[in-house]
Chain A
Amino acid sequence: MPKITIDGKTLEVAKGTTVLTAAQQLGVHIPRYCYHPKLSISGNCRMCLVEVEKAPKLMTACSTEAADGMVVHTATDKVKAARRDVLEFLLINHPLDCPICDQAGECGLQDYYMDYSRAKSRFAQADKVRREKRRVMGPHLVLDNERCILCTRCVRFCSEVTKTSELEVMERADHSFIDAKEGRALDNDYSLNIADICPVGAWTSRDFRFKQRVWFLKKTPGVCLGCATGCLTEIHHNEGVIYRIMPRPNADTNTWLCDPGRMAYKAAQAGDRLKKGVIKNGLIDLEPALREAASRIDEHHEAAAVLGSPWLSVEDNAALARFAKDGLKTKNYSFDFDPEQGIKDGILINKDPAPNAAGARKVKAAAGGLSFKELSAKVASGEIKVLVAEARAAGLLKEELKAGGARLIVFAMNRSEIPAGAYATLPYASYFETPGTFINFQGLERRTEPTAAAAEGVKPLWAVIGKLSAYSGGSLRLESAQDALKGI
């Protein structure tokens, strides 16, 4: 166990720990560009130079292993001069693009320049090396080679994390630039992480490009609902509009975030978000739609069925369960979802595309009910006359519904979600607009926080169920999400 002294503070670290991580444990920040905790160490940016006693020259903190008795200084004049000069080198050919660069505000060059340099450039603008700007690389990214400082984080990400190795440093010395290998497109499922890890504005997201300046964005912790992995996310939004989703690195599930997960917010802000109810294919106001749906349910109280959904939060599944048990007093309900789970591609994407199958099972454990097979058999045989379900869960019973001919009453967020043949559709607030609890494939409970306000009249699902129950004459009343969880 080597003992290392950094800026006068001594620390015992595990063997193999680098000076940079040791300093981090002591709360000493060492600037870096090429170093990333989840990528291999490259040591090419030279930003992390520190002074090590008895060493003949400055050492890179990211690649120097801590040795016993090592004494490190991070704030001597020599180190400061080195940082200033490294920054000057990096900025020699960096264009003055900050006004049009999306990275401005979270840019490593801007931050470290203000912290460590503040020197005037000694190079005329006309002498800067010119490279190709604004190259569209793949479906999600734009590359600006002029802004690149060749830290190679993106190259290492593609070769080590996604193992697709699309990117490479072309040419040598000051001709070097990042490019995709011949004939390759940058189209892996994790490409947007490159925009995140790029310390400058070389890689920018095509989706977020020019939409908003980063310093206007407010950050709310969230959960990705793209699959059963349940990655932790950070939702960046301003004035009720979500602009991008970033990963919230954590030890349990994710450091990165997949591209489909990042784009999941689009559905919540899509133009086809339902604000009113739909009967067959016509839009009507929410209240009449609720009344219509309730009277259809009332016609077949005993023969009505409720299907839970692995796409809904625990609270909303619980509300559905209470609606079946206490509202309709039917035995035909199922919260039995047990799909195959597990990481599909070895990185993040799960075999189960629904985020909350475990949460639905939790409701089943408390409320009981039929198995999924029993319910689908009942639907197929025509025994069930009315089925109340969430749109995507209803999709699981497509064939059975066609065979049995039951009336389908669904809850949907978007018009495109509505399954064919649905009789009534009721809108509900997305989990960007209302809190909800989700349980991922590892059994970890995660909670979403609202970032935006739902459109007027659009309520959380438990509230829609509460109203439906009131209209159908049941005694069930749901005033809050906590009400729904009672007895579950």
Chain B
Amino acid sequence: MISVKKVDNRPLNFLERIYLPEIVRGLLVTSRHFFVNLFNPKGMPTVQYPEQKLPLPHAAKERTRHRLKLRADGTPKCVACFMCQTACPAYCIRIEAAEYPDNPVEKSPAVFDIDLSRCVMCGMCVEACPEDAIAMDTLEIPGGALSRAQLKLTKEDLLMTLPGDPSDKGAANRLANEHMKSRGEA
């Protein structure tokens, strides 16, 4: 449904039609901003970005650079199920799966690349992940880079732990958790 808003465009009166008083009114508005900001620069909302950062509001914290979570034994929680690659609307994720010889989880990512130059930071990969393995909570906002290669995150770049990790969520991780327990870890 397109919502329609009726606008009552009344005809201009004489003073408005000769334009000059309205121009002066406009100039007063802009020059008021000019003088207020000139004598009170602290009142401006501008943030000097790289040096000065605003604390990210609630939801924006979940839309920062990606990371791959780790299990307690240091292996990635990711099981290379390709859900994020499938969900990604920007086609920026590339995964190649490999097989563990001993771990009963069987599957792990051999390659996990995220091309930040294509990523639209939509968070669909996080939504899609059935293993709670990818998160966008590093609070790093990907910025400019001098070459495209610098914007490509490999598995090694992505694997990192934050305080509070590791969690044991995720269906297939049940197997990994038991495997760790059986080896006397965690």
Contacts and interface: CB of A to CB of B under 8 A. Distances in A.
Interface size class of B (residues with CB under 8 A): 10 to 19
Contacts of A215: 86
B105 interface: yes
Contacts of B172: 96-97, 99-100
A98 interface: yes
Contacts of B104: 133-134
A97 B171 contact: yes
A210 B99 contact: yes
Interface residues of A, number: 15
A125 B170 CA distance: 12
A322 B130 CA distance: 60
Interface in A96-155: 96-100, 104, 125, 133-134
Contact of B171 (A96, A209, A213): A96
B155 interface: no
A272 B64 CA distance: 45
Interface string A211-251: 10101100000000000000000000000000000000000
A133 B172 CA distance: 13
Contacts, number: 43
Q: Is the interface of B mostly helix, strand, loop or mixed?
A: loop
B157 interface: no
B176 to A, nearest CB: 11
A98 B83 CA distance: 10
Most buried by B among A96, A134, A210, A215: A210
B83 A99 contact: yes
A111 B99 CA distance: 26
A19 to B, nearest CB: 37
Contacts of B99: 209-210
Interface string B79-111: 111110010000000000111000011110000
A210 B80 contact: yes
Most A C-beta atoms less than 10 A away, residue of B83, B105, B106, B131: B106
A227 B170 CA distance: 47
A104 B97 CA distance: 15
Given A210-B80, A210-B97, A100 B107 contact: yes
A94 to B, nearest CB: 11
Interface of A: 96-100, 104, 125, 133-134, 209-211, 213, 215-216
Interface of B: 79-83, 86, 97-99, 104-107, 130-131, 171-172, 174
7 contacts: A96-B171, A100-B81, A104-B81, A125-B174, A210-B98, A213-B81, A216-B86
Top-7 shortest CB links A-B: A99-B81, A96-B171, A210-B97, A100-B107, A213-B82, A99-B130, A100-B79
Given A96-B172, A100-B79, A213-B86, 8 more contacts: A98-B130, A99-B107, A99-B171, A100-B172, A133-B104, A210-B98, A210-B99, A213-B82
